[in-house]
């Protein structure tokens, strides 16, 4: 079998020599190794001050997209909730009233849409399942908190605001978009 | 007389403060040394470079719940950390921190008490320190704590023997038990480590065991005994145990410097033509530099070596260190006789056979 590294050594039960038995050379060798590590480059990332770059398609906190006119894309079809392996998504659907056309893109919408961020495993299957390109994962992180209840994100936290739109074009492959919209 | 008394009181206060501050910052240093040896940064949030971290830790210790287990021996439980802290603080009294200073019309040495059995005093107090751990572990009424305490006491008793024998070689070659005399005899670069390398090696190994530090930290064993003798302790009682350990480390570093590295002596101290006071103050600085190096050395070893197994520890102590120390003692004695009168050596040898 090919070894993974060339550092492997065959184990033997030979009797230790005098130098090996008094341990001192091995101890000095070990201390030299730890001493060298003092001058190594540190691996620490000072997280809140300094963030490691995340991929454009990093699977973080979700966003519920609006269309270009500002209407919510979600129609509360429930496919994301069905696809979710962690059962983190719940929703209550409602019918759009006359005069709400600018708020909701289609006749049915999600009156309540909640994702339990403690259950969510950030697999991205909701994003894949969505036929309306409404839900996406973003490179943003779910921030920590003290209360369990505060991890159930409702529409107030999920729906994007029109002033501060979130670009998800990197996640939308042209082939997928054409399939989803043109059958 | 009264001036001298005031000066001594001031020295006591200064040394006590320095002991506590150094012990406090040893915790910070420990975390930093551990971090850099593992390619990390270590505490850096409290103040610039994390300088205020020990204060934050101390504040945390004070405000934690002081819990006494229901089935513990209450008074012994309180007494344990008290003894540990008390003995740790007492040992600093005989260490000569510097030479003599002439000030305010008085000439005094920077030492609290130059008692002529200084080294015995230290050994005695270190031995009492075992009681703190033993009582603490016993009073907790917890089997892990008791294991830790039993391990600690048997380990410290075994290693005190080898330590005493290693020191005896130094005492024999100096001809005095006073730490001041031992330091003075090393002036001019005649450091004991050159003449007694084996004694130094034995002493430093025993010092690790006496301080309950890795690779001999069997009394605590975070991984096996969940803290050993201080498992049940919380708040400042735990703080006292941990603090006493760092003070012990500081005192050990000081004793190593005194016995083997010339204490406050530094090379060319008399050739530079400085005034007596200047030499003393530089000497104090040099002494503390040596102490800090040895504290670093203690930490360096801790983050390099894994813990010994209990039987290996006992094996090393009884079957290796004590015989080596005795051999060292015999060689030192033979050398002392030979040095005094080479011809007499021959006649002694002839008589003994």
Residues composing chain A: 183
In the predicted model, residues of chain A with pLDDT beneath 50 are 183
Q: How far apart are CA B177 and CA B258, in angstroms?
A: 12
Q: How far apart are CA B166 and CA B209, in angstroms?
A: 14
CA distances in angstroms from B144 to A29, A140, B136, B206, listed in the order given: 34, 46, 12, 24
Cβ distance A27 to B304 less than 8 Å, yes or no, reads: yes
- The token pair at B25 is 């910052």
Is the CB of residue B206 less than 8 Å from the CB of residue B123? no
Determine the pLDDT at residue A43: 86
For testing contact with chain B, the best of A26, A37, A41, A49 (most B CBs within 10 A): A37
Please name which of B207, B183, B167 lies closest in space to residue B294, comparing C-alpha atoms.
B207
Residues whose CB falls within 8 Å of the CB of residue A42, separated by 6 or more in sequence, listed in order: B36, B39, B40, B41
SS3 category, B151 = helix
Q: Which residues of A touch B304 (CB under 8 A)?
A: 27, 30-31, 33-34
Q: Which residues of B touch A40 (CB under 8 A)?
A: 39
SS3 category, B144 = helix
Cβ distance B39 to A46 less than 8 Å, yes or no, reads: no
In the predicted model, residues of chain B with pLDDT beneath 70 are 1, 219, 221-227, 345, 353
Determine the pLDDT at residue A183: 47
Q: How close is the nearest chain B Cα to the Cα of A34, in Å?
A: 6
Q: How far apart are CA A103 and CA B211, in angstroms?
A: 72
- The token pair at B80 is 């344990």
Nearest residue on chain A to B297, alpha-carbon basis:
A31
Cβ distance A37 to B37 less than 8 Å, yes or no, reads: yes
Q: In this complex, is the C-beta atom of A40 within 8 Å of any C-beta atom belonging to chain B? A: yes
Number of independent structural domains in chain B? 1
Q: How far apart are CA A59 and CA A136, in angstroms?
A: 9
Q: How far apart are CA A84 and CA A98, in angstroms?
A: 32
Determine the pLDDT at residue A94: 93
Is the CB of residue A97 less than 8 Å from the CB of residue A65? no
Q: Which residues of B touch A37 (CB under 8 A)?
A: 36-39
Beta strands B100-103 and A152-153, pairing class:
unpaired
Cβ distance A31 to B300 less than 8 Å, yes or no, reads: yes
The 3-class SS string of chain A reads CCCCCCCCCCCCCCCCCHHHHCCHHHHHHHHHHHHHHHCCCCCCCCCCCCCCCCCCCCCCCEEECECCCCCECCCCCCHHHHHCCCCCEEEEEEECCCCCCCCECCCEEEEEEEEECCCCCCCCHHHHHCCCCCEEECCCCCCCCCCCHHHEECHHHHECCHHHCCCCHHHCCHHHHHHHHHC
Q: How far apart are CA B334 and CA B348, in angstroms?
A: 10
Q: How close is the nearest chain B Cα to the Cα of A29, in Å?
A: 10
- pLDDT tens profile B118-147: 888 888 888 888 888 888 888 888 888 888
Is the CB of residue B128 less than 8 Å from the CB of residue B87? yes
Nearest to B39 among A30, A33, A42 (CB): A42
Nearest residue on chain B to A24, alpha-carbon basis:
B201
- The token pair at B5 is 């008394």
CATH class of A62-182: alpha beta
Please report the sign of the dihedral spanned by the C-alpha atoms of residue B55, residue B57, residue B63, residue B67: negative
SS3 category, B22 = helix
Residue A111 phi/psi, 5-degree rounding, is: -75, -40
Distance of CA B176 to the CA centre of its chain: 20
Is the CB of residue A31 less than 8 Å from the CB of residue B301? yes
Q: In this complex, is the C-beta atom of A26 within 8 Å of any C-beta atom belonging to chain B? A: no
Q: What angle do CA B155, B160, B162 make, to 5 degrees?
A: 105
Q: How close is the nearest chain B Cα to the Cα of A24, in Å?
A: 10
Nearest residue on chain B to A26, alpha-carbon basis:
B305
Nearest to A30 among B41, B44, B305 (CB): B305
Q: What is the largest CA-CA distance in chain B?
A: 72
Residue A38's CB: how many other CB atoms inside 10 A? 12
SS3 category, B106 = strand
- pLDDT tens profile B88-103: 888 888 888 877 777 7
For testing contact with chain B, the best of A23, A28, A38, A47 (most B CBs within 10 A): A38
Please name which of A109, A105, A94 lies closest in space to residue A68, comparing C-alpha atoms.
A105
Q: In this complex, is the C-beta atom of A33 within 8 Å of any C-beta atom belonging to chain B? A: yes
Q: How far apart are CA A66 and CA A105, in angstroms?
A: 8
Cβ distance B40 to A31 less than 8 Å, yes or no, reads: no
Q: Please name the residue that has the structure tokens 């907790």.
A: B140
Determine the pLDDT at residue B226: 67
Cβ distance B37 to A34 less than 8 Å, yes or no, reads: yes
Q: In this complex, is the C-beta atom of A45 within 8 Å of any C-beta atom belonging to chain B? A: no
Cβ distance B38 to A37 less than 8 Å, yes or no, reads: yes
Cβ distance A38 to B36 less than 8 Å, yes or no, reads: yes
Nearest residue on chain B to A29, alpha-carbon basis:
B304
Q: Which residues of B touch A38 (CB under 8 A)?
A: 36-37
Determine the pLDDT at residue B225: 66
Cβ distance A31 to B37 less than 8 Å, yes or no, reads: no
- Quote ipTM for the complex: 0.77
Helix-helix angle B118-139:B143-174, to 10 degrees:
180
Q: How far apart are CA B119 and CA B177, in angstroms?
A: 6
Instruction: List the domain range (segments joined by +) for residue B338.
Output: 2-352
Q: How far apart are CA B328 and CA B192, in angstroms?
A: 14
Q: In this complex, is the C-beta atom of A36 within 8 Å of any C-beta atom belonging to chain B? A: no
Report how far apart the first and last C-alpha atoms of chain A are (Å, whole number).
51
Q: In this complex, is the C-beta atom of A21 within 8 Å of any C-beta atom belonging to chain B? A: no
Determine the pLDDT at residue B292: 92
Q: How close is the nearest chain B Cα to the Cα of A33, in Å?
A: 8
């Amino acid at each position: 079998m090919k070894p993974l590294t060339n550092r492997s050594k065959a184990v033997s039960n030979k009797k230790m020599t005098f130098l090996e038995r008094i341990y001192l050379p091995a101890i000095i060798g070990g201390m030299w190794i730890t001493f060298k590590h003092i001058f190594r480059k540190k691996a620490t990332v000072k997280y809140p001050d300094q963030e490691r770059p995340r991929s454009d398609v990093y699977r973080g906190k979700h966003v519920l997209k609006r269309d270009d006119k500002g209407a919510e894309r979600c129609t509360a079809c429930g496919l994301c909730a069905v696809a979710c392996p962690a059962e983190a998504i719940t929703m209550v659907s409602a019918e759009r009233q006359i005069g709400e056309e600018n708020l909701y893109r289609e006749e049915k919408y999600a009156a309540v849409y909640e994702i339990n961020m403690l259950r969510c495993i950030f697999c991205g299957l909701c994003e894949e399942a969505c036929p309306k390109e409404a839900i996406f994962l973003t490179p943003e992180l779910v921030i920590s908190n003290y209360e369990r209840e505060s991890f159930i994100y409702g529409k107030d936290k999920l729906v994007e605001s029109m002033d501060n739109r979130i670009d998800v074009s990197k996640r939308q492959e042209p082939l997928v978009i054409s399939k989803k919209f043109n059958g | 007389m009264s001036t001298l008394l005031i000066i001594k009181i001031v020295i006591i206060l200064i040394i006590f403060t320095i002991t506590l501050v150094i012990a406090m910052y040893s915790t910070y240093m420990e975390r930093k040394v551990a971090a850099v040896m593992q390619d990390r940064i270590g505490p850096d949030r409290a103040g610039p470079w994390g300088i205020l971290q020990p204060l934050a830790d101390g504040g945390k210790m004070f405000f934690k719940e002081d819990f006494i287990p229901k089935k513990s021996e209450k008074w012994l439980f309180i007494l344990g950390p008290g003894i540990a802290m008390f003995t740790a603080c007492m040992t600093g009294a005989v260490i000569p921190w510097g030479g003599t200073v002439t000030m305010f019309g008085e000439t005094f040495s920077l030492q609290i008490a130059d008692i002529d059995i200084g080294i015995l005093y230290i050994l005695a107090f270190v031995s009492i320190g075992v009681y703190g751990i033993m009582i603490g572990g016993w009073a907790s009424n917890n089997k892990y704590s008791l294991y830790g305490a039993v391990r600690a006491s048997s380990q410290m008793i075994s290693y005190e023997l080898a330590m005493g024998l290693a020191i005896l070689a130094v005492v024999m070659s100096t001809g005095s038990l006073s730490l001041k005399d031992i330091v003075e005899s090393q002036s001019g670069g005649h450091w004991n480590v050159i003449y007694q390398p084996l004694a130094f090696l034995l002493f430093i190994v025993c010092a690790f065991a006496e301080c309950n530090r890795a690779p001999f930290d069997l009394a605590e064993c975070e991984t096996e005994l969940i803290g050993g003798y201080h498992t049940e302790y919380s708040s400042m009682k735990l703080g006292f145990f941990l603090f006493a350990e760092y003070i012990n480390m500081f005192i050990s570093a000081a004793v190593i410097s005194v016995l083997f590295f010339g204490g406050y002596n530094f090379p060319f101290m008399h050739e530079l033509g400085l005034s007596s006071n200047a030499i003393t103050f530089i000497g104090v600085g040099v002494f503390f530099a040596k102490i800090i190096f040895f504290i670093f050395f203690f930490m360096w070893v801790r983050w390099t070596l894994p813990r010994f197994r209990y039987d290996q520890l006992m094996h090393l102590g009884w079957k290796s260190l004590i015989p080596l120390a005795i051999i060292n003692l015999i060689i030192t004695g033979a050398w002392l006789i030979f040095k005094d009168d080479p011809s007499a050596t021959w006649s002694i040898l002839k008589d003994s056979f």
